Every structure is written in C-alpha cells, then in structure tokens.
Amino acid sequence: MCGIVGYVGYQNAVDILLDGLKHLEYRGYDSSGIALMSNGEIKVYKALGKLQNLVDTMKKEKITSCNTGIGHIRWATHGLPTLANAHPHSCNCKGLTLVHNGIIENYQEIKETLIKNGAIFKSQTDTEVAAQLIAFEYGKTNDLVQAVSSAVSKLKGAWAFCVMHKNEPETIVATRKNAPLLIGAGENENFLSSDIAAIIKYTKKAIYLNDGQITKISKDKIQIFNEDLTPASNRMEILPFEAHSLSKMGYKHFMLKEIHEQPDVVRNILQDKIKDEISDIALNGVNLDINSLKKINRIQIIACGTSLHAGLVGKYVIEDLTGIPVSVEASSEYIYRRSIADENTLVIGISQSGETADTITAIKQVKEKGAHVLIITNRKESLLSRLSDSLFHINAGIEVSVAATKSYTAQLVSIYLLGIFIAQTLNMDKKRIQEIKHELLTLPSKLEAVLSGELTIKKLAKKYSGFKNFIFIARGINYPTALEGALKLKEISYINATGYPAGELKHGPIAMLDETMPVLAILNKGIVYDKVMSNCEEAYARQAKLIGVANEIDERHKELFDDFVIIPPVSDIVSPALNVTVLQLFAYFIAEYLGKDVDQPRNLAKSVTVE
Ligand code: F6R
C-alpha cells in the first residue's frame, strides 16, 4: 500500500507532489511527507493524519523555488503512524532521502549489521533501514544508481523506492520489485509514481519499470538500467485514464459518483462484445480456443475481498453455463496449502487493482504448475495483467473510492461474458446463452431504474442508521450479494453486518435475532424465492425488523416486512448485478448520514500490496 510520487522539472515541486499525493490518498492516509532538494541540500516535511495536514504545513513554509522532490502517503505496516515513522526517511548525515512502498522482510538482520557499522535509527520502519543501507553503499562508490543496485540485491520482500542524494542534484533514482512504479515522461519535466492517478493531469506518456530495473531521471533525461546495470529501453505507453475520472463531478463523494456510473460501465463492457442475442461474443485478450478449453477439467477462482465475492458469483455462473467444476478461494488462504492446479486447470484471478499481493503470490504459484492464468482486472497495465496468459480488462475507469462498487459490477459482467464465451466455444446450450445475453443487454436500463429510486433507499438508511448489527440473507447466486452488501456496510459505516445463506439462519445465527437485529433479505422471484420467504417468516417470528429487496412481494407476505425496496424483474442468474446496487446505496447513505469518511474509511487502503 502507500503511495509514492517523484518530480524533477521546471514547476514548483511542492505543488506537483501535494497534488500527486492527493490522488494517491486512497492508498493510505496515516501520515504523509515530502522531501525537497535544492542548492545541494535536502529538506524533509512530514505531517500526521490526513494529507490536508501536510498541505497546511507546506502553506506556512511558502516554498516556491524548488523543482525536485519526492513524496509519500503512508498506510502503516512497520511501526505506529507517528511522525518518526512517516516517510521520507533519511540516512544519518541526511545526504540521502527516500520514500518506499512495500515491505522489506529481512530488515531486522540488515538493521543489526548497520548498527554495528555506526548507524543510528530514529524510526521503527523497515524503510529507514533501506535509507541507511543505500547511504552505506553510496559511501563505497559515490554513484546513486550503483548504491541502489547493490543495496536492493541484499533485500528480501517487495519495494518501490524513489531516492535522492544531495550530491546528485536535480536527479531521482528509483527502482521496484513486486510493487508498482511508473515513470511519467513530460516536456522538460519527468515524474515517478506508484499509480497513474498522481501524474495523469500532467502527462499521458508513461514507462513501466520491470521488476528489478532501476531508473535515473532528471528533467530532460530518463535512463533505465536492468538488474545487472546494463542499459534498458522500455516501451513508452499512452495512459488510458482521463483526468475527469478523478473529479467528483458534483457528487458529494466518489463512492456515490461511482455507484451512479454503473449503467454506463456495463454498457461500455458490453458494447464491443455482444452485438445481439444470436451472434457469438468476441473476447479480445482471452486466449482460449476449443482445443485448450476441452482440456480444462477444473476452474479455480482466486481473489480477495469484493473481488472474491465476484468470484463466488462466478462459480454459479460458470458451473451453470458450462458444467465445469469451479472452486473459489481467498488468495491469502490459497497460498499456504498444496495446490492441485495443473496444466488442465484454468485459474481465474480477479482483482480490481491488479496489485493485490496475496493474489499475485497465488497466481505466481499456479503459473509454475502450468495452469492457464486468466486475469480479470480494471488495470491492464498492472502486475497481475503482466502475469496473465489471458486478460479480461473490465474497463470500468479509475475507481477512487476505497470501497469498490462499479468495479464489482464490471467484474460480474465480465464473468457472465466469460461464462458465455466458454459455453459458446464448447457448443453448449444456445438457448440459455441467448437468454443471458438478453438479460445483460437490458441490465443498464434496470440499473438506471434502481438508481432513480435512490431516495427510498436514502430514507431507509436514515431509519436504520441507529442499529449496531445487521444480518443480510439470501440464497443461491445472491448469497455472495449478501456477503458483499454486509462488507460494504462494515467498511464505510463501521457497523457490524454479516452475510449468511438464508438456509443457515436456523443453524445458529437465529439465536441472535430480536428487535435490535434487522435482517435484510434478498428475494428475487426465482427458484429460491419461497425458501428465502420461509426464512423471513422465521426471522419475523423472532421480532427481527425485516427489510426486503425484491422484484415484488406477495400480498400475503407484505405484513412480514417493515420495509422493502422493489427493483425491476430480472433473471436469477443476472440478479446479483442489480441487487448489489441497492446494498451499495444502503451502505453509502448510512455512512453518509453518520458523517463517516465515506471515500477513505479508517484502516483501509485501495490497493493491498502487502501479504
Ligand atoms: C472492498 C474492497 C476490497 C478489495 C480487496 C481486493 O470494497 O475494495 O475488499 O476488493 O482488497 O482488492 P483487488 O480487487 O484490487 O484485488
């Protein structure tokens, strides 16, 4: 996690660094800091808490004449969120300063050696160890690229570093391993950042560093070196995102804006893939043909958090459409047991950011076993994309709110398309495929209908905002929707919410039900409607307040419910993509009503780049 940014050019570095960090705030926000280099001197400024505190500090400093600097926004891993632990970190003589994203696993042993050589540590971080180590190596060569190279050869873990040394004015040296870092190429100015978002406003030209490569940038020169320090010539890429993705466009929060973008996001994915209900769909980037698919005897889906919930929906969809057995597992669990993936396994990794460390590790493991790796992600330039044999870019546009919304819906739609693609390639039930295509084509307008009813959900959210616990129930393909709705509520309002398969209620959780525990039930008209309704009867008998999310509620059942939200009719299989919008809005309006920091909930970061 954490965000890093670097700038060398002709503009005021303070403005560029603070603006860059603003766009990286979703990566962490425990503390922030910048280091500025001018006249052979490096000065470091830090602030605790939100970035605004650093902005206020820098306003007082009134620095306008510095054109080189590095910045950092922190999500604490080693050491408390204190000023001493905030980045940038420097060596003892303050000649070298760096910012770091990642975790250095062997920092303790290196620290002990450095202490024996006279280093004095002021923080509890692994990052300060890197700063002292690079400075130690610099003492041997007086060359920053060489010093960084020999220092990182001693490290284990994951990192992206931006390093400045006072003897190398108007220059930044940077490197990465298993953590993202890109170079933004400008006119008479160059940038470094852990994410496009920090630099897109200034340049659309980017160069991605490969694992182990080192770069040295000045305002008019970009040099790249391979791990063995031979010169490298990486490809220049044109960045995809428009700056307007980074604006709230009049909405109070990014989360609300992103929820409202969902109809267009779905249209966008479907646009070039489904022409009509009859024609075959085309998935560019998915390198699976009839011969490779015939070999596949099992599918494993690996993901974390919200992406894991999309994977759980994927199990229902792919098994229903293709009959191929699908297992779904949290990446962090998958890594530490014997994997049975082999060359007849299709492994689907789902990740909005494409940077999630647990998913990256799991995917690297299955690649070694010869499985075909298909990645579904919103970041086609990400580390996971680069590991893929097949890539499904969900193209949802940048998602700024830490709580994932539109990327989840886009992941769901991608999974429907993938299921259809596999089924059509294997010549399976054409009629069923056509029905699902029809449902997908009508999904955007149904999403619009749900969004136009948001006032009802807002009122409901206000009514229920005082409760401390919720249970969300559903069955079948909407069980993951219950999990996702509960996760959204927990994440942004800090209210305890648990998702259960409705049939499990009587196997334990029912013990908790009384008038203080609202039950939200997802009741689409379909094969499990009557069953979920019976579970609602059980909850009603225990005085629980009941909220129904349904296409319609029969007259005879209406009295069970304190409240309901009626959504357009939709087939069972596509219903998760519609139902989830109601739950996203419910969570959003509760958090907003309670005055929570919706876009940047406490303790969370958008990209979880540590295991
Ligand atoms: C929840 C959320 C997280 C992520 C999880 C995986 O709103 O965003 O649960 O889904 O950290 O992240 P990605 O999808 O980037 O791998």
Best mean pLDDT range from 140-154, 172-186, 590-604: 140-154
Q: Which atom of ligand 1 is nearest to the CA of 606?
A: 8
Measure 430 CA to ligand 1 centroid, in angstroms: 34
* Ligand 1 pocket check for 510: Cβ under 6 Å: no
Q: What is the mean pLDDT of residues 379-391?
A: 92
* The pLDDT value given to residue 158: 83
- 2 a catalytic residue: yes
Q: How many Å from the N-terminal Cα to the C-terminal Cα in the chain?
A: 10
Asked if residue 327 has pLDDT above 90, the reply is yes
Catalytic residue among 380, 545, 596, 606: 606
- How far, CA to CA in Å, does 306 sit from each of 31, 366, 449, 519? 26, 22, 24, 21
Going by pLDDT thresholds of 50, 70 and 90, the confidence category of residue 109 is very high
Q: Which residues on neighbouring strands pair with residue 351, listed in sequence order?
A: 377
Q: Which band of pLDDT confidence, cut at 50, 70 and 90, is reported for residue 575? A: very high
Residue 31: is its pLDDT beyond 60? yes
Residue 584's nearest CA partner among 429, 452, 403, 420 is: 403
Q: To test the ligand 1 pocket, which listed residue (1, 301, 328, 353) has its Cβ within 8 A of the most ligand atoms?
A: 353
Contact 525, 552 (CB under 8 A): yes
Answer whether residue 241 shows pLDDT above 70. Answer: no
CB 198 within 8 A of CB 208: no
* Beta pairing class for 214-218 and 221-225: antiparallel
Question: pLDDT: is 595 or 200 the higher one?
Answer: 595
- Hey, what are 385's tokens? 């994309």
Strand order across the 563-566 sheet: 496-501, 469-474, 519-523, 546-550, 563-566
Structure tokens at 52: 């605004």
Q: Hey, whose CA ends up nearest to atom 13 of ligand 1?
A: 351
Encode burial over 406-426: b for 16+ CB neighbours within 10 A, e otherwise: bbbbbbbbbbbbbbbbbbbbe
- pLDDT for res 489: 97
CA nearest neighbour of 92 among 40, 132, 41 = 132
Mean pLDDT of all residues in 302-331 = 97
pLDDT score at 225? 97
How many other C-beta atoms can be found within 10 angstroms of the C-beta atom of residue 260?
A: 19
Pairing mode of beta strands 96-104, 89-90: antiparallel
Q: Confirm or reject: Cβ of 332 under 6 Å from ligand 1.
A: no
**pLDDT higher than 60, residue 138:** yes
**What single-letter DSSP state applies at residue 371?**
P
Q: Residue 90, SS3? A: strand
3-state secondary structure of 430: helix
- Centre of ligand 1 to C-alpha 354, Å, is 10
The residues facing 99 across adjacent strands are: 162
- Do residues 422 and 293 make contact, with C-beta atoms less than 8 angstroms apart? yes
For the chain, what percent of residues have pLDDT higher than 70?
97
Q: How far is the CA of 305 from the centre of ligand 1 (A)?
A: 5
Q: Greater confidence, 100 or 556?
A: 100
CA of 114 to the centre of ligand 1 (A): 37
Check whether 446 has a pLDDT greater than 70: yes
Nearest in space to 512 (alpha carbons), one of 494, 535, 539: 539
Region 490-515 average pLDDT:
93
For the chain, percent of residues with pLDDT exceeding 90: 77
In this predicted structure, what is the pLDDT of residue 1?
63
Mean pLDDT of all residues in 318-344:
95
Answer yes or no: is the C-beta of 163 below 6 A from any ligand 1 atom.
no
**Residue-level pLDDT at 65:** 85
CA dist 253 → 90, 500, 547, 597, 598 (Å): 36, 29, 26, 9, 7
pLDDT of 244 above 60: no
Catalytic-residue membership of 93: no
β-strand 519-523 against 496-501: which pairing, if any?
unpaired
Average pLDDT score, the chain: 93
> Which of the residue ranges 172-176, 237-241, 455-459, 563-567 would you say has the lowest mean pLDDT?
237-241
> Probe ligand 1: pick from 304, 487, 603, max atoms within 8 Å of CB?
304
pLDDT for the residue numbered 243 = 58
**The predicted structure's pLDDT at residue 63:** 85
Inform me whether the pLDDT recorded for 240 exceeds 70.
no
CA nearest neighbour of 505 among 481, 541, 556? 541
Q: Pick the range with the lowest mean pLDDT from 139-143, 177-181, 250-254, 455-459.
A: 177-181
Helix boundaries (H) for 261-382: 262-271, 290-295, 305-322, 331-334, 357-368
433-442 burial by CB neighbour count: b if 16+ within 10 A, else e? beebbebbee
Q: For ligand 1, atom 10, which residue shows the shortest CA distance?
A: 306
Residue 494 has pLDDT above 60, yes or no: yes
pLDDT at residue 245, as a whole number: 66
Region 448-465 average pLDDT: 95
Question: What is the rounded CA–CA span in Å between residue 14 and residue 65?
Answer: 9
pLDDT digits (tens, 9 = 90+) for 273-304: 998 888 899 999 999 999 999 999 999 999 99
**CA–CA separation, 578 and 576 (whole Å):** 5
Structure tokens at 134: 């690079």
Question: Does residue 418 have a pLDDT over 90?
Answer: yes
What is the tens place of the pLDDT at every residue in 159-201? Answer: 999 999 999 999 999 999 878 899 999 999 999 998 888 898 8
Tokens found for residue 124: 């509890």
Which range has highest mean pLDDT (137-141, 334-338, 379-383)? Answer: 137-141
